[in-house]
Structure 1
């Protein structure tokens, strides 16, 4: 199987013309598939950029932003209360979603390419997803899936590393940039180098990506297909549709209260604030437009008659942006946000609808992570892979049973743009240990009673701290984790 996947990667990389023909035949039913492939589930993944756990109504009944389509999806699916990203910033989590592995294994531990210094130099950073990695798209292609990618990629600096060379038949808009920084950004002309057809002036990016995704679904409704819609929304620049901005300005005018509070100071001389009240009209407009785009794709599944045989997964790549770059959202009661290993930076919306498996409106509180997407989707499609992954198949949890996993881990040896702490973390059961890389200090929290991480129990539970820290350090070794480095003539950083 490993040899087959590597051969497939060669074909995908070097035979674009063949892929076009394959896609055309698949669209018209001419692509030969094994008899049992007709029963394989289709898969649609929605990945939203920078969306916080508290940014959707399904997780937050008092949410300022309106997300009726995502909330309706949750009512037909299983919602996870303790779902995580593998990293508090984007590229590492995107790597984990594609491969099922912790990003520390290939030193993809910060956004590509973020190399900010603080008291120490950051750890070495690999800013390309290695081509030898087997992606979820490549795995599904061994079972005859047509594969589609739209939106933000941010997993490589040149076309060699783009989606079309990592298992996707079609790539609409995925390239090296971490945001919509070309053209008029969120409005056409986009001037995106990976959009073969430009939109008419004024077209809105999330809607454009949703339309292309919907067209792919309808063209491949005989299945099986894999559609990965990776929104540029709701990442900066903060730009929204004028009609929605006006709506939320009026809504915000009815809300009183303190918008910002004091945040922990860990970098630089400027005092840092954290948003504690959701009231940002432009951000709200961006969230609602993204929700409308999700609704358009879900409606297409119904219109194409494939909703009952399609797994739908909705999540984000890191926590909401609460402490920098405009600080547009609040993650409270979760602490911190994007760039922090506190819950506000790594706990994400996770919704999974697997017809015939998940119970509509069900809720699961078992910890899951972005490393679990690859093994879960591969298992659903009957893909047998021989290489090791870190994630687990979520099928037991989706059926209402328990997962067989002791711990989840995080490793962020960088100074984030949002002021976050270079740190690692481990979660076991309800307990989470955070280890700071500048000085080795630890914090221990009981997330069951203190999901806001305000009551540090480290001094009260030294035995638990010692046990969890030993396992965290063993994990560092198992993934060959790298740490902060000494500056010239500077102090030596702590090391585990």
Structure 2
């Protein structure tokens, strides 16, 4: 009898063990794959450069542009109406790949050639020793910020990482100029170039065999030379081929689709330009609007690709611009009117220079057609995408300043009015040629309040963005308590980041901190 009982117990044990093993195997098999990720970054696209309104009403600018694919995307995603980047391209791109605030990473202006700053001279101030060489994955590189990049972390966790379009992470002649050294396994058209010499394939994108032109350094795109295609279109085709490769390798992909559009030069995209000319736009403005629509078609083409390959439900798409819209000739209209109702444009720390169109579609998480009013920053992409990819264990050599926006993606009504955003631009972008609001500035936002410090003039300006999105009414003198509080908080943040300030030529010392302004 004992033998029978023992045999029965053993059989039950083996059966339970086998069942547990089968259940474990089934659990492994049904676990969802890591999501594919597309970051669709546009260059120099203003907050209003779309038929999708990001304000509480439709504007004349919204009516001018035709972006039907953005409209379709907005209907299926969450729209952020207060999303920010830096005022210039390379600082934003370094913040995206590092998660660092520009005040900390010190790549505070656009990069060009190794060891050569691009700033204009000034009669009163000098630029500090900012990181003119950009981002580097190698410790000790001079005038560079040492970073564990976002694509490197994704690559380490099984992603097929694709850089397509504009890179502009580092100066020509540095390791950071090569996306393949930064964690990308595929590079399509990315280099130290900040804009193309030409969008026209028939012009070989501006290549000249007798003279090196940095803007024409668009690698791996020669197959399109001597054709009648357009760079935006060609990059999209190459992105699709790269996603094909990821599928063949059975890997999730991270596509950094970073268009050169809509940056100068404003070559006319013949697929779209005529209707804008017929509507009475000047030739440059019609070409600009066509650049926008060509970018929009690229977004639509990528969404169609996902649908055709049954990838839509497991692919996250983030749409964003790298800085505010260019707001000077050859754009049509008076200076700094192109981003209305926002003040200023690219290069400025007024809203027109830093507020961007941003949308996110995360199937199964984000609510279609929802809107989030929480202010966020491009440095937030780093921790956000790592969380989206469900990567729990990773290390970085840099301090990450960005905050994950996943809570807002899950609950658009969630808000954090205590959060602080900081911008630092101790540089001279245009030498005053485009106005005094494109140089020597640092700024802070907390809640509805925003303070801007004009370092050359020792001037503080205070705005309430809830009541005055146009930044038309400086409240610094009327609201001294708020001015002092934000000046003190900005100073604390700048010191925490070990931020740089411009140097006074007379004293040889940095300009005063915001809370040291006389009369404050």
Return the TM-score normalized by structure 2: 0.79
Residue 402 (structure 1) aligns with = 414
What residue is the counterpart of 1:343 in the other structure? 351
Deviation at 1:203, TM superposition (A): 1.9
**1:493 Cα deviation after fit:** 6.3
State the alpha-carbon separation in 1 of the partners of residues 429 and 320 from structure 2.
22
Aligned partners of 2:39 and 2:256 also within 8 Å: yes
Q: CA deviation at 1:159?
A: 5.8
Distance, in Å, in 2 between the alignment partners of 1:460 and 1:166 is 48
Residue number among 272, 280, 285 corresponding to 1:280 in the alignment: 285
- TM-superposed deviation, 1:287: 0.7
- 1:15-164 matched pairs, under 5 angstroms: 39-59=33-53, 61=58, 62=60, 63=62, 64-85=64-85, 87-113=86-112, 114-119=118-123, 120-127=125-132, 128-131=134-137, 132-156=146-170, 157-158=172-173, 160-161=175-176, 162-164=178-180
Residue 282 of structure 1 and its aligned partner are, at CA, apart by 1.2
Equivalent residue, structure 2, for 1:494 = 511
Seen in structure 2, the aligned counterparts of structure 1 residues 495 and 198 have a Cα distance that, compared at 3 Å, is farther
Give the CA deviation at 1:123.
2.5
Picking from 378, 385, 391, the partner of 2:394 is: 385
Rounded to whole Å, the distance in 2 between the matches of 1:313 and 1:443 is: 33
CA distance in 2, matches of 1:212, 1:323: 32
SS in 1 for 2:37: strand
Alignment partner, residue 360 of structure 1: 368
CA distance in 2, matches of 1:35, 1:205: 42
Report the Cα distance in structure 2 between the residues aligned to 1:81 and 1:336, rounded to whole angstroms.
18
* Partners of 1:153 and 1:327 in 2: CA distance: 28
Distance 1:143 1:37, change over 3 A: farther
In structure 2, C-alpha distance between the alignment counterparts of 1:193 and 1:411, rounded to whole Å = 30
Match of 2:213 in 1: none
Q: In 2, are the aligned partners of 1:78 and 1:398 still within 8 Å (CA)?
A: yes
In 2 relative to 1, CA 309–180 (structure 1 residues): closer, same or farther, beyond 3 Å? same
Deviates more, 1:217-226 or 1:336-345: 217-226
Structure 1 Cα separation of the partners of residues 503 and 268 of structure 2 = 40
Aligned with 1:352: secondary structure? strand
Distance 1:287 1:493 in 2: 41
TM-score by length of structure 1 reads: 0.83
Query: What SS class does the counterpart of residue 234 from structure 1 fall into?
Result: coil
CA RMSD, 1 decimal: 2.3
2:395 and 2:161 map into 1 onto residues whose CA distance is: 21
Does the 8 Å contact 2:448/2:465 carry over to 1? yes
Question: Do structure 1's residue 425 and structure 2's residue 443 form an aligned pair?
Answer: yes
1:248 is the counterpart of 2:276: yes
Mapped contact 1:37–1:224 kept (Cα < 8 A):
no
- Is this contact kept in 1: 2:424–2:441, CA < 8 A? yes
Q: Sort the Cα spacing of 1:177 and 1:279 in 2 relative to 1 into closer, same or farther, 3 A.
A: closer
CA gap 1:97/1:35 in 2 versus in 1, 3 angstroms: farther
Give 3-state SS (helix, strand or coil) of 1:226's partner. strand
1:218 touches 1:304 (CA, 8 Å); kept in 2? no
Per-residue deviation at 1:154? 1.0
Q: Which residue of 1 aligns with 2:186?
A: 170
Shift of 1:480: 1.1
Please give the per-residue CA displacement for 1:174-227, whole angstroms capped at 9, x wherever unaligned.
Answer: 10111102xx44434234452164314222100111111112223323441100
Shift of 1:160: 2.1
- Relative distance call for 1:358 and 1:485 in structure 2 (3 A) is same
Residue of structure 2 equivalent to 1:195: 220
**2:223 aligned counterpart, secondary structure:** coil
Q: Distance in 2 between matches of 1:421 and 1:100?
A: 24
Counterparts in 2 of 1:40 and 1:287: CA distance versus 1, 3 Å? same
Deviations 1:325-362 (A, max 9, x none): 64687100000000000000000011000111110000
Q: Larger radius of gyration, structure 1 or 2? A: 2
**Does the 8 A contact of 1:340 with 1:346 survive in 2?**
yes
Separation of aligned partners in 1, 2:104 and 2:30: 35
Alpha-carbon deviations, 1:42-72, whole Å to 9, x = none? 1001110000000011126442111111121
- Contact residue 318 and residue 347 of structure 1 kept, 8 A: yes
Tell me the CA shift for residue 486 of structure 1: 3.1
Q: Return the offset for 1:151.
A: 0.7
Runs of 4+ residues over 6 Å off in structure 1:
34-37, 490-493
SS in 1 for 2:363: coil
Whole-Å separation in 1 of the counterparts to 2:149 and 2:351: 27
Taking the aligned partners of 1:428 and 1:380, their CA distance within structure 2 comes to: 26
- SS of the equivalent of 1:483 reads coil
What whole-Å deviation, never above 9, does each CA across 1:304-339 have from its counterpart, x for those lacking one?
A: 111111110000010000135646871000000000
Q: How many residues align?
A: 436
Q: Please report how far the alpha carbon of residue 490 of structure 1 lies from its aligned counterpart in structure 2 after TM superposition.
A: 8.1
> Which segments of 5 or more consecutive residues in structure 1 lack a partner in the other structure?
1-33, 254-258, 260-277
The residue matched to 1:414 in structure 2 has which SS?
Answer: strand
Contact 1:437–1:493 (CA under 8 A) maintained in structure 2: no
Secondary structure of 1:474's counterpart equals: helix
* Contact 2:284/2:332, CA 8 A, preserved across alignment: no
